[in-house]
Amino acid sequence: MNSQMSNGLLKKRFAEYKDEISTKPAQRKPDDHALIIDGLNTFIRAFSVNPSLNEDGSHVGGLVGFLKSIRFAINKFKPTRCIIVFDGKGGSNRRRKIYPEYKQNRKTKYRVNRAYDFASQEDERQNMMMQLSRCVEYLDTLPVTVMSYDNIEADDTIGYLCRQVLTESEIVVMSTDKDFLQLANGRIKIWSPTKKKMYDEKMVMDEYGINSHNYIWYRVLDGDKSDNISGVRGLGLKTIQKKLPFLKENRIVNIDEVIDVLPDSKDTIELNYKLMQLSDVDISGSTKTKIIDKVNEPINRLVKFQFQKMFLEDKLFTALPNVTSWLATNFNQLNSYAEKTHW
């Protein structure tokens, strides 16, 4: 009798144990949830508005604002890995070969920073480049992956990562660049830090009345003034929705369908599509290999000593107080995932 009761209790406990194990969440792996940050976009935004000064009174707003933006995104989205992508040297060359006027409107006489009175535009430019270079040095001490490839814009690297490399990952892309909305699907979302909105398929549909698969055609037809890309004259969002109602359908619309509706704008449509689409980017095989190799190599470990050394050199005591706690609170969890890539 006692033996039968013991066996019954053992079976009951075994069943309960099985249920307990089956309901525990699976252990997260380094590539499960990737946060991809548009590096230059994030830095320029920080440099433009952050007034932070170091103990010597030098402007360090770009550096401080950038590091705080990275910290904010990691805390908010809790990724298992973070990839920060910058434009490579000569990054716009491919598009300029197609369209020589690409981004030519960016040679401005206006100051970028509105929070600090630099002596001259050249002084501001040199300070900005120095801070950007320093940002990359700080990133080398953090458990993140940094990517930049000659003749490749960050947009293309991010598009390739999202659609061709990290194909099993849940991804959040952080950028104010609306071109990235064309990547939104069931596993890829776009966080706009200025709008404080997360764009998934539903949000794109709600805001634009266009399926995210076909958002590229809105960009192609509307153009992009910031990149000096002209759209089709007389077409705004409402007109595009009216003339091309099939863009809201849950299917991928091809270029011939768009040209059939707007045959007189064929050249503009074909040119803008080459310039703006990110789903199948035109980059060399050797660069694709470099990107894949970078994703597969061990992720940098957190090097607190080196970060703190630079922190002291840059005299950021007021801008980033209590740096030891700041590093531990914001980067220890991400570092634990980085450690797994070294096993």
Which tens digit of pLDDT belongs to each residue from 293-336? 999 999 999 999 999 999 999 999 988 889 999 999 999 999 99
pLDDT for the residue 301: 97
Question: How much of the chain, in percent, has pLDDT values that exceed 90?
Answer: 79
pLDDT for the residue 229: 95
pLDDT of 26 over the 60 cut: no
At 107, the pLDDT band (50, 70, 90 cuts) reads low
Those residues with Cβ within 8 angstroms of residue 208's Cβ, 6 or more apart along the chain or in another chain: 215, 218, 237
pLDDT of 54 over the 50 cut: yes
pLDDT for the residue 4: 54
> Of the candidates 130, 151, 146, which has an alpha carbon nearest to the alpha carbon of residue 39?
146
Cα 189 from Cα 172, distance rounded (Å): 5
Those residues with Cβ within 8 angstroms of residue 37's Cβ, 6 or more apart along the chain or in another chain: 69, 70, 73, 82, 83, 84, 85, 173, 174, 175
Mean pLDDT confidence for 128-150: 97
At 103, the pLDDT band (50, 70, 90 cuts) reads confident
Mean pLDDT lowest for which of 21-30, 162-171, 258-267?
Answer: 21-30
pLDDT digits (tens, 9 = 90+) for 157-172: 999 999 999 999 999 9
CB atoms within 10 A of CB 276: 19
Cα 148 from Cα 143, distance rounded (Å): 17
pLDDT for the residue 175: 98
pLDDT of 112 over the 50 cut: yes
pLDDT for the residue 116: 76
pLDDT of 220 over the 90 cut: yes
Cα 58 from Cα 245, distance rounded (Å): 54
Cα 33 from Cα 80, distance rounded (Å): 5
pLDDT for the residue 90: 87
pLDDT for the residue 249: 97
Which residues, in sequence order, are bridge partners of residue 36? 83, 173
Cα 92 from Cα 61, distance rounded (Å): 27
pLDDT for the residue 1: 47
Mean pLDDT lowest for which of 81-85, 86-90, 117-121, 335-339?
Answer: 117-121
pLDDT digits (tens, 9 = 90+) for 178-212: 999 999 999 999 999 999 999 999 999 999 999 99
Instruction: Judge whether 73 and 37 are in contact, CB under 8 Å.
Output: yes
Cα 75 from Cα 58, distance rounded (Å): 28
Question: How much of the chain, in percent, has pLDDT values that exceed 70?
Answer: 90
Which structural domains are found in the chain, ordered by start? Answer: 33-209+282-337 (3.40.50.1010)
